[in-house]
Chains A and B, each alone.
Chain A
Amino acid sequence: SQTIHQWPATLVQPVGSPLSLECTVEGTSNPNLYWYRQAAGRGLQLLFYSVGIGQISSEVPQNLSASRPQDRQFILSSKKLLLSDSGFYLCARGEFFTDTQYFGPGTRLTVL
């Protein structure tokens, strides 16, 4: 099994509060991991990707950051949330030999 878990499933946070979203992957070693954001009615925007522990590439720096403390764990963080951070956050893993990305169930974030 190469299941992707995301926690929490739903989150409502006030503006200016911190954020921590977690993604964990089962079954595969050293996967490429990705964070995407999807605004309502829009396509997916790549935020960060990681090819290994401690290795993070940022596509949209803004007020978000990502970390990969363990091989199968990818965390999305913010020190102070903005209204514009509301959206649906998806974690994905890349399959090495086929370059195919598989997605987790997502986290719905609402910033009020």
Chain B
Amino acid sequence: AQTVTQSQPEMSVQEAETVTLSCTYDTSESDYYLFWYKQPPSRQMILVIRQEAYKQQNATENRFSVNFQKAAKSFSLKISDSQLGDAAMYFCACYGGATNKLIFGTGTLLAVQP
């Protein structure tokens, strides 16, 4: 079974500053993938970043990067130079290759202050 835990229900950051969202996970699978999704007020789920568990190098997509600590089963998201448009609910998720299931955390609501 897979579980994903996001311990920060809400976070706030000043525009142009950096914020880190936390996520821990647990899985019995050796082949898995980790994701961060963004859900703005429109409620459409938008892929932010993806990490293959077999890769040691942390994934980066423009202002978004992750800190993947496999032994600790930690997968945090760092948003640099925060913008007003980054305000949204952020979900961490884990996909198991054997189970074909994407399991989501409960989300972190990020507010960006001008």
Closest to A46 in B: B101
Q: Is the CB of A100 within 8 A of B45?
A: no
With the chains together, A102 CA to B74 CA distance in Å? 23
- Indicate whether A74 reaches chain B with its CB closer than 8 angstroms: no
A84 within 8 A of B: no
Q: Is the CB of A105 within 8 A of B107?
A: no
List residues of chain B with CB within 8 A of the CB of A90. Answer: 45
Q: Which of A66-99 contact B (CB under 8 A)?
A: 88, 90, 92, 94, 98-99
What is the predominant secondary structure among interface residues of chain B facing chain A? strand
Chain B positions 40 through 62: 1 when the CB is less than 8 Å from some CB of chain A, otherwise 0: 00111111001000000000000
**How many residues of B sit at the interface, in one of the four size bands?**
20 to 34
Q: Which of B37, B50, B104, B106 contacts A98 (CB 8 A)?
A: B50
Residues from 96 to 114 in B contacting A, C-beta threshold 8 Å = 97, 100-107
Q: Which A residues are in CB contact (< 8 Å) with B97?
A: 99
CB pair A43 B33 closer than 8 Å: no
**Cα–Cα, bound, A6→B111 (Å):** 29
Please tell me if B75 contacts chain A, counting CB pairs below 8 Å: no
B68 close to chain A: CB less than 8 A: no
Residues in B with CB closer than 8 Å to A100 are 33, 35, 47, 50
A103 engages B106 (CB within 8 Å): no
Question: What is the CB-to-nearest-CB distance from A110 to chain B, in angstroms, rounded to a whole number?
Answer: 14
Task: Please give the residue numbers on chain A whose beta carbons come within 8 Å of chain B beta carbons, in ascending order.
Answer: 32, 34, 38, 42-44, 46, 49, 51, 59, 88, 90, 92, 94, 98-106, 108
